[in-house]
Every structure is written in structure tokens, then in C-alpha cells.
Amino acid sequence: MKLAFIQALTRLAREDNRIVLLTGDLGFGVFDEFAREFGPRYVNVGVAEAQLIMAAAGMASVGMRPVTYSIASFATCRCFEQLKLAVAYAQLPVIVVGAGGGYAYSSSGVTHHAGEDISLLCALPGMTVVAPGDPQEAASLLPQMHSAGRCGYFRIGRGKEPACRSIIEPVLGKARLMQHGRGVAVLSTGEIASEVQAALDELRRRGVVPSWYQYHTIKPLDCQTLDAIAQRVQTIVVVEEHLAHGGLAAQVSNHFASRPSHPALIALNTGDGFVLGSPHKDEFRRNAGLCAASIAEAVMGIWKEPQAAHRAGSTASA
């Protein structure tokens, strides 16, 4: 996704000479070509995340369109007040890119985890928050964020995220229908999409076909689609690499709390704990119940009734 991001940014920077890429001394090798092509429009501010954001805010206030880059944890938590005051309060069009959002750097330890990035950034007034699921989605959404001309957070992966199949193109601010289904809807955000896809492939083999929406845009939340989903399913399963507080599931719950009736909700996330032990990504997902098998199991657990009805029907017709 990093590669897709920098390729998309390079295309944008060729069209719009206001774009400046600022890095907090990260992205080894990824920005070489950008730096060669755009010279002073590539700035390494050093290991200085406060300055990363303040410099970007200053540039935006004189008409430039800065994009800041760091590892998601440093890009958000480390400089949160700068994001609040220099960017959000000032209403400046800065795009903050957090690489390896969630637990993409799971094996690097808690210091490199960003299980609260979505929650923090969604809390800031006027901030658009986007977590693409695969490289193609990242490449499509970055120019849309740029065109929107507002401040935004763009959570990308660490690299080598598998491509996901989809029915429609991603549109900023709209949930993306990835698979038609019935009875149950799975909602995901960020690069966990590939695990959801693997889970749904397995479920399909067992005759279980829930619908699947990728909520790449968490803020503003596409509540219209949520209400439409609520009309059609009994249960919603939300899958995200994020803590329980303030993530996609929390925001979906928050929306449904104002409705007289709504589907049951099952949240698959990292709860309220640090991920200790520096697990590799696959180990982390298995332990946290976020691997394809766990997602499939969660859906199977609530699929009982439609499945039973289906079996009853099959038996009767046999």
C-alpha cells in the first residue's frame, strides 16, 4: 500500500505543484524517486513529529497542499495537539499519512502499534478519516481526499497487502459494497479487509454468504448505508485492527443507539489491552481473533438460524 500511496502521490504532485511531501525521517527508499523529481517539495524534517505537523500547517496556510508521512503511531499520538490546534482548529488542508496503522508493525512492539489512531483522529472536528483496505483502494482514495481540500488522516499498511475483490469503485465517504449476501453483514476498515475476504471465501464454500461492506471512510461515517443494511440483516459483524474504544464498531454502535431498533452487533477488535509479546502479523491476528478463521467462526456462530432454515428446506425438498 506504501508503494500505491507514493505512486498516487507522485501522479498528483505532477498535476498540482502545491503538493509538498514531508516525512518525519521515515520511508527509507520509498521516496527516492519523489525526491529526485520534486526536489524541495520533498522535506525530511527529522525525527520531530511536532515540527512535521507545524511545518505542514504553515505551508498549508500559505496555499500549499502538504502531505505528512510517518509511522501511524508517531504520526498521530506523538503530535496530537499539533493536529488538533495547528491543523484541525485552523481548518487547513493537510493530509496526515500514518503508515502501518493499527498493528501492521505488531512484531516491533507496543511502541510501534497504533490501535487508537482512528479514535484519536475521529475526535478532531472537521477531520476526514480514511483507512483503505488494499493498494488499489489507497490509490483511488488519495486523490479524492486531495480534491476534498480538507484536513484528513490516511491510514495505510506497511506493505504487501493482498488485493481485494469488489463490486464497485471506492468513493470517499461511502461504504464500499464488496459482496452481496443475506442475513448477516460484515463491515471492515483498513487492511484487515484481506482477512475478511479469505473468511468469506471459506464461508461461501460452506454455503454461508453474508454481505460485506468496506468502510474505508470512518469519518464522515456513511450512516445512510448503515440504515439500509439495518433493514436487511439481523446481525452486523464489525472487523477492525483497532482498540474497542472509538473505532468503527464504537461509531456504528453510536449511530444505531439513536435508532428505535437495529441489528445485533458483534465487534472483532483488540478490546482494551496492549498487544504484548511482539507477535508477527499472522500470530497477532490469530491471537486477537482477527484472522480469517476467527472471522469465519464469528459469522458461523450467528448464522445458525438461516443455516438451519436452509438445511430444513433442503431436507424437505430432498
Partner 1 sequence: MSYPQTNSTVVVDMPRLIRQARQARATCVQLAHDGRVGHVGSALSCVDAIVALYGGWLNVNESNRGADDRDRFILSKGHACTALYAVLAQRGFIPAQWLADYACYGKPLSDHPCKHALELLEMSSGSLGYGLGVAAGMLYGLSLRSVYPRAVVLMSDGECNEGSVWEAAMFAAAKRLGNLVALVDYNGIQAVGRSDEIMGHTSIEQKFRAFGWAARTINGNDMPEVVDALWSLPLEPDKPSAIVLKTLKGAGVSFMQDKTLWHYRVPSDEDLQNALDELGEVPWHLARRACA
C-alpha cell at 63: 496555499
Instruction: Give CA–CA dist 24/51, Å, rounded.
Output: 9
Query: In the chain, how long is the greatest CA-to-CA distance?
Result: 73
Instruction: Give CA–CA dist 23/76, Å, rounded.
Output: 13
Instruction: Give CA–CA dist 98/204, Å, rounded.
Output: 34
Ranges within 217-276 binding partner 1 (CB under 8 A): none
143's enclosing H/E stretch is helix 135-148
Q: Which stretch binds partner 1 (CB under 8 A): 69-77, 84-92, 121-129, 299-307?
A: 84-92
Q: Which residue has the cell 484528513?
A: 152
Q: Which is nearer to partner 1, 84 or 112 (CB)?
A: 84
C-alpha cell at 9: 502521490
Instruction: Give CA–CA dist 285/103, Å, rounded.
Output: 9
Q: Which is nearer to partner 1, 38 or 105 (CB)?
A: 38
Ranges within 5-64 binding partner 1 (CB under 8 A): 20, 40-41, 43, 45-46, 48, 50-51, 54-64
Size of the site for partner 1 (CB under 8 A): 27
Using rule CB under 8 A, residue 142 touches partner 1: no
Q: Which is nearer to partner 1, 62 or 318 (CB)?
A: 62
Q: Which stretch binds partner 1 (CB under 8 A): 83-91, 125-133, 134-142, 154-162?
A: 83-91
Using rule CB under 8 A, residue 85 touches partner 1: yes
Residues that bind partner 1 (CB under 8 A): 20, 40-41, 43, 45-46, 48, 50-51, 54-64, 66, 81-82, 85-86, 89-90
